[in-house]
Structure 1
Amino acid sequence: MRVGVDYYPEQWESSMWQSDAEKMAQSGVKLVRLSDFAWSKLEPREGEFTFGWLDHVIDIFSRYGIGIILSIPTNCPPLWMYQSYPEIIQIRPDGKRLQIGNRGHRCVNSPVFVKYARRIACEMVKRYGKKKSVIVWQIDSELEAYPCCCDVCKEKFRKWLIEKYNDLDSINAAYGTSVWSGDYSDISQIEPPTAYPKAWQNPSLCLDWYRFTSQSAADFVKEIAELVRLENPKVILTTNTVFSNNTPDLYHLFEELDFVSYDNYPPISLEAEEETISSHAFELDMMRGVKGADFWVMEQLSGPTGSYAYMSPAPKPGQIMGYAMQAFAHGADAVLHFRWRTAATGAEMFRHGLLDHSNVPNRRFYEFSELCKSAVKLTPLLSTRLIADIAIVYSPEIDHAFKIQPQVRTFDYMEQLKMFHSAFSHFGANVDVVSGEADLSEYKLVIAPSMYVNNSAVTENLYRYVINGGTLVLTARSGVKDANNNCIIDTLPTVYKELAGIEITEYDPIGEQKHVIRDFAGNEFSCHAWCDVIQATSAKAYAEYTDGWYRCLPAVTMNRYCNGIAYYIGTVCGLDFYESFASNLMMQTGIPRLKDLPRGVEVTTRTNGKDEYIFFFNNSEKDVSIPLPKPMYSVIYSIVEDELQLKPFEMDVVRK
């Protein structure tokens, strides 16, 4: 496992570069990321390239044996480009250009911008593509599904729609434009749905706009990747992503890249309420699931966050090391901390790095140095991977569709996924977070929450999984919409009726109200947000409502279908229900459970087919004691242990 830092030499005096590299090497840094926002320093005037300073920086780090991630800095074009070619600036919904001076304000569909992005990429890979110290290339930074309303984006969107639907009549039919007299009589009448809240606009248009903007980001990455590989087919390519209001479809974004990179900023302050999931374990497992392979963390929490909001508290002792180790446990092969030194200028001067403005090593820096030493001990684990018996299905389109038309207060698609993930993690299970089109055949258990927008390929995949003997869990708001984001004219859960063995005669969007359900064993749990009124056709009741006008009717069902089993949860519950449910499912499917783990302890297992390594992470603010079933060798402390004593945010790794 390797630890690194994000470094911005262009922001510091050149006299500091050598001492910084020396200090990094002494602390154990193995990787450094450079140049992701340095376009103006590399091309200060149009066509005038000044690579000398970057040559010098790369030579310095090469001498210390530190591997370099070199970024193609297309997120921030130089101001001369915006001034000379204002058409590359994104257009707001009101028709005005974004005010430049921040970041990410270029339009990735602009032919002019793409021309210059290709040129800087080409110049960089020609110069550094065969340098052995440059081990990875990053394309752009934190790409979004940008809602640009420029003429180029509008015309490209209209062309994209015609290619998808063939003609205007088909678009009208797919969108149901007869509502509010919205029929299109000319393609020029189609506008990006950005001027009003999404809930006021045509939901079919809104979802297609997301698909288009997301594909635009992926197409830009693909174009730069193809250019770079044309210059040097052996380069390794990635880009870094982070969750935002405009997160693109990550399955498409990384399709042409070698591995996934994620910017990981776990919470410094943990929520006292058990119902609130503070851990970033779900996000890390999601990154591993995007390509079904290990990933990198390109930016990791290093100090108090700030700049775009009020400053957060400082990371507590143990969090710098613990959160990096947590990422390793969930499939990260490298973790780079943002950033080496806190910026002294610019908007991010209070988004703290490992070193504060004083440039004097502090508590966080020394903890980081200890992390570097511990990571070296994990080097044998580079050949290992996580193998999971459980998969949770995630859909970017469903996530976005719920944002277009929120169903009811307290109903949150992502929170459902996290609740299931937390429940299974409580019993020490590895969990994959995957696309609905992924191969599900090796999983003993698949959770597919709120399959709201029907994708026929995904539906067929889920049916096939159960027919072949799998155990599937569906939840409320499944089968509601067709692929065009219109309601299906059928009894819910429509396409899943046969599989689930139920029909929903009515539903009750209760929001913040609460009801109670009782399972087959007599355990009672609170439910909220949503209550499906279920009529079982071939299914059996797993749990029933105990109150309300649907008292004694099924709330959760189980249906045997062909060789498998399909469960349906018609409501939203608290974590206690999901943990009870997860425990029962794991027992029924033969998935091993670790019982009596202290609250907050996360357990993951990586294997190379011969040896198994078990990560125990105390993601809590209390000391914990964990008895082991037999004495095991600690990779971190080089001793045999029969009981683990973990401080807050401490991790130990034992070989089984």
Structure 2
Amino acid sequence: MKRQVIITLLCVVVFKVVAQGQNFFPKEDLMSIGVYYYPEHWSPNQWERDIKNIAGHGFEFIHMAEFAWAQLEPSEGKYDFTWLDKVIKLAEANGLKVILGTPTPCPPVWLGIKHPDIYVKDVLYQRKEHGTRANMSLSNPKVLDYTQKIVEAMAKHYARNKTIMGWQIDNEPEAKEDYSEASQAAFRQWLMAKYATVDALNKAWGTAFWSQLYSSFDEVNIHNATNVGWWGANPIALLDFKRYTADTQAAFLDFQAEELRKYIDKSQFITTNYVAKGNGADPRRSTQMDFASFTAYPNYGSANLGDLGFRLGDYSVLMYANDYYKSVDGVTGVMEIQPGQVNWANHNSLLQPGTVRMWLWHCFAGGSSFACSYRYRQVLYGAEQYHHGIVSTDGVSLSQGGQEYVQVMKEIKLLKEAYSSKAKMPKAIQKRKAAIMWSFDNLWNLERQKQTYQWDSWMHMQRYQSILHALGAPVDFISEEDDFNDYPFIIVPAYEMVDEDLVQKWKSYVAQGGNLIISTRTGAKDKNAHLWESNLSGIMNELIGGKVTSFDMLPAGKSGEVVMDSQTYQWSSWGDRISASTNSEILASYSDQFYKGDACVISKSIGKGKVWYIGIESLYGQLEKDVLKRAFDDNKVSVENYPEGVFVMYRDGFMVAVNYSSEAYELDYDGNYLLGEKTLKPAAVSVWKSK
């Protein structure tokens, strides 16, 4: 029980205790490329051939062992590292480095037989079973006990092995909702640490509503939206459950990292591979990673463009991951990215030739220090039989994606020859530098009470991210704790929960010359997700130069109109009605509906800077783009106008362009191209040295 209490308390205290973003990847190496290899899936007499071929193709490291707990500990307390030692020695002999994974995603069958309660309980209170992955209850003291033992054994065994470059903890950490007995107890501990008294809990949760009042923490069970119905669920209790779940996942990662650091060499990094667009796991809640890396499968999603889009992938996957994960600790890499078709997407079409290469160059442009393909060999059995590899089913022949990996590795070598440590970002691009303020807490809360099924918090944020890239702006993601003054422009999309400290920090940022662009729904609630006892914009009124008097939304398929600078825009999903203050400027107003003439976009100067409030979500994003262009224009900052799906980005002295759209694009550069050409065809890549 002691370990459970410790890890529960760790969940509530979020602060960085190790030096993050260390230079494990020298700048001059640009982007190292590796591949997943699973020796336990193949005959030992093929290991040497495979490792030689991996090195011969140009890969620099292999990734192993994150799913091999049963092979590493075939029975309780009996460890077998001999097979893994052999492969690591083969890697060393062939000049390859190794990333080792801790094998906690897949507990061995003997552990579940001895302790059936180690498994997660789902929303129907049914216990998960052996045979899949990510099925353990991370609050369970027995899980923590056995995790500590296997991590300690691996760390001690490989602590001084110079071939090991780093560790990946677990795999694709998921903040999985857990209704087990252990999780219920841990949740109560989390609540006690957060609220201290049950009276404070009652006030925060609003338990006066529908007789939900508690007289002791012992009476609290995890609120189950499925059992009470979506409409009847307490949104604030559910938000705290989301927070607890994310904190528990983060604490589980940190728990393993702390164990590793007792033994491993300082040259070995520690990270984990978050799912690119998030599954509830929040890397900013973790305190012990050296940096956050990510898994990206661009073949799925909704941003596939044009007739070829289904073969080119969803640009928003890598767009988000590149910007977000490098913002956490300053260093990132794509730990897992597909080399071809997969077996689990809604459709698994063949990729357009060049697409895998384009994805890798997009990762490079976005700042990845490394890229690792999942996987080298296409497995012949199990749940991922049709997940393609670098080589085809014969284990030798390069697949189409494998050929493109080899091509990229050769191209990276060419760029290394042109690299200069003295290169600096062009001033025109530097002036466009922008940040997006983003919080998973706000995402969870907004999605609980969307008010309209047309609302999508994630896509709303990515609309602004996509606009910034279309304008040629470098993009970071920031939290409330970061230094706002590092960015000339800050975008705050639908940041629903605020407090006085944050609003004051925004005011100070603007007064010193910052440009703050705030979108609809921002500031509608306090940090406990309560509405203000004043009006819909509460403590935001002075900042934005007006107050939100009401909001409207239209049925799907029906649109309204607003006018800005004599141009008409359509909207449907959300529109704020704003009463503007005398010291603010009305930029856009409604031109129909019964509130025709009411403001929906306003701006206000504060000190040396300016605030824009965009109280509308337009149908196609053009209004939002025009407001952002106005913000740049007001500051005499030139911008680009790239079409959707075309990315032109600066990295280490190079300009890199990739094209996810189904149409060719003519680049505005007439000099010599290191790679590609002026006409950027679909799935094509062009690279040139920046001026």
TM-score (norm 1): 0.93
Distance in 2 (alpha carbons) for counterparts of 1:244 and 1:589:
32
Distance in 2 (alpha carbons) for counterparts of 1:8 and 1:382:
37
What do the CA deviations read for 1:619-656 (whole angstroms, capped 9, x no partner)? 2233332131x63x53437xxxxx62333222222112
- Helix, strand or coil for the counterpart of 2:247? helix
Seen in structure 2, the aligned counterparts of structure 1 residues 333 and 243 have a Cα distance that, compared at 3 Å, is closer
What do the CA deviations read for 1:389-423 (whole angstroms, capped 9, x no partner)? 11111110001112222221222211121111111
Determine whether 1:413 maps to 2:443.
no
Following superposition, the deviation at residue 516 of structure 1 comes to 1.3
Aligned counterparts, 1:147-226, within 5 A:
147-196=177-226, 197-226=229-258
What do the CA deviations read for 1:293-352 (whole angstroms, capped 9, x no partner)? 13110111211121x455511221111110011011011111111111111111111222
Give the letter for the 1:582 counterpart: L
Aligned counterparts, 1:109-508, within 5 A:
109-196=139-226, 197-232=229-264, 234=266, 235-242=268-275, 246-253=279-286, 255-267=287-299, 270-272=304-306, 278-306=315-343, 308-359=344-395, 360-379=397-416, 389-508=433-552
Distance in 2 (alpha carbons) for counterparts of 1:140 and 1:176:
37
Contact 1:279/1:619 (8 A) holds in 2: no
**Which residue in the other structure is 2:5 paired with?**
none
Aligned counterparts, 1:576-587, within 5 A:
576-587=622-633
Determine whether 1:15 maps to 2:45.
yes
Contact 2:586/2:601 (8 A) holds in 1: yes
* Residue range with higher mean Cα deviation, 133-142 or 281-290: 281-290
What do the CA deviations read for 1:36-76 (whole angstroms, capped 9, x no partner)? 10110000011111100000010111111111111111111
Contact 1:626/1:644 (8 A) holds in 2: yes
Aligned counterparts, 1:47-62, within 5 A:
47-62=77-92
Contact 2:315/2:645 (8 A) holds in 1: no
What do the CA deviations read for 1:77-107 (whole angstroms, capped 9, x no partner)? 1110111111211122333311221101111
Distance in 1 (alpha carbons) for counterparts of 2:577 and 2:253:
46
Distance in 1 (alpha carbons) for counterparts of 2:629 and 2:277:
33
- Helix, strand or coil for the counterpart of 2:554? strand
Following superposition, the deviation at residue 444 of structure 1 comes to 1.1
**Which residue in the other structure is 1:84 paired with?**
114
Seen in structure 2, the aligned counterparts of structure 1 residues 590 and 615 have a Cα distance that, compared at 3 Å, is farther
Determine whether 1:623 maps to 2:657.
no
* Residue range with higher mean Cα deviation, 358-367 or 485-494: 358-367
What do the CA deviations read for 1:555-584 (whole angstroms, capped 9, x no partner)? 111111233211111110122223322322
Distance in 1 (alpha carbons) for counterparts of 2:507 and 2:147:
44
Determine whether 1:603 maps to 2:637.
no
Distance in 2 (alpha carbons) for counterparts of 1:244 and 1:102:
22
Contact 1:199/1:405 (8 A) holds in 2: no
Distance in 2 (alpha carbons) for counterparts of 1:236 and 1:650:
33
Structure 1: gaps of 5 or more residues: 638-642
**Which residue in the other structure is 1:647 paired with?**
681
Distance in 2 (alpha carbons) for counterparts of 1:652 and 1:405:
44
Seen in structure 2, the aligned counterparts of structure 1 residues 22 and 382 have a Cα distance that, compared at 3 Å, is farther
Seen in structure 2, the aligned counterparts of structure 1 residues 457 and 346 have a Cα distance that, compared at 3 Å, is farther
Distance in 1 (alpha carbons) for counterparts of 2:235 and 2:554:
23
Contact 1:294/1:385 (8 A) holds in 2: no
Following superposition, the deviation at residue 280 of structure 1 comes to 2.8
- Root mean square deviation, CA, Å: 2.2
Distance in 1 (alpha carbons) for counterparts of 2:314 and 2:635:
26
- Helix, strand or coil for the counterpart of 1:270? coil
- Helix, strand or coil for the counterpart of 2:597? coil
Seen in structure 2, the aligned counterparts of structure 1 residues 289 and 398 have a Cα distance that, compared at 3 Å, is farther
Structure 2: gaps of 5 or more residues: 1-30
What do the CA deviations read for 1:520-573 (whole angstroms, capped 9, x no partner)? x21221112111111101321111111111212211111112332111111101
**Which residue in the other structure is 1:593 paired with?**
639
Give the letter for the 1:156 counterpart: A
Distance in 2 (alpha carbons) for counterparts of 1:511 and 1:398:
24
- Helix, strand or coil for the counterpart of 1:99? coil
Distance in 2 (alpha carbons) for counterparts of 1:600 and 1:76:
37
**Which residue in the other structure is 1:640 paired with?**
none
Give the letter for the 2:630 counterpart: N
Following superposition, the deviation at residue 356 of structure 1 comes to 2.9
Following superposition, the deviation at residue 456 of structure 1 comes to 4.7
What do the CA deviations read for 1:561-617 (whole angstroms, capped 9, x no partner)? 23321111111012222332232222222333124x45532111124xxxx321111
Give the letter for the 1:556 counterpart: V
Distance in 2 (alpha carbons) for counterparts of 1:352 and 1:318:
16
- Helix, strand or coil for the counterpart of 2:260? helix
- Helix, strand or coil for the counterpart of 1:295? coil
Distance in 2 (alpha carbons) for counterparts of 1:56 and 1:277:
39
Distance in 1 (alpha carbons) for counterparts of 2:380 and 2:420:
36
- Helix, strand or coil for the counterpart of 2:463? helix
- Helix, strand or coil for the counterpart of 2:651? strand
Following superposition, the deviation at residue 188 of structure 1 comes to 2.5
Distance in 2 (alpha carbons) for counterparts of 1:385 and 1:165:
48
What do the CA deviations read for 1:327-385 (whole angstroms, capped 9, x no partner)? 11011111111111111111111222222324332322212211111122344769689
Distance in 2 (alpha carbons) for counterparts of 1:309 and 1:627:
36
Following superposition, the deviation at residue 205 of structure 1 comes to 0.7
- Helix, strand or coil for the counterpart of 1:124? helix
Distance in 1 (alpha carbons) for counterparts of 2:329 and 2:34:
23
Which of these residues, 129, 134, 138, is aligned with residue 108 of structure 1? 138
Determine whether 1:543 maps to 2:579.
no
Following superposition, the deviation at residue 6 of structure 1 comes to 1.1
Following superposition, the deviation at residue 277 of structure 1 comes to 7.1
- Helix, strand or coil for the counterpart of 2:561? strand
Distance in 2 (alpha carbons) for counterparts of 1:533 and 1:344:
59
Contact 1:92/1:98 (8 A) holds in 2: yes
What do the CA deviations read for 1:141-193 (whole angstroms, capped 9, x no partner)? 11121211122211111121112111111111111111111111232321112
Distance in 1 (alpha carbons) for counterparts of 2:401 and 2:168:
27
Contact 1:299/1:337 (8 A) holds in 2: yes
Seen in structure 2, the aligned counterparts of structure 1 residues 456 and 503 have a Cα distance that, compared at 3 Å, is closer
- Helix, strand or coil for the counterpart of 1:174? helix
Give the letter for the 1:655 counterpart: K
**Which residue in the other structure is 2:67 paired with?**
37
Give the letter for the 2:161 counterpart: K
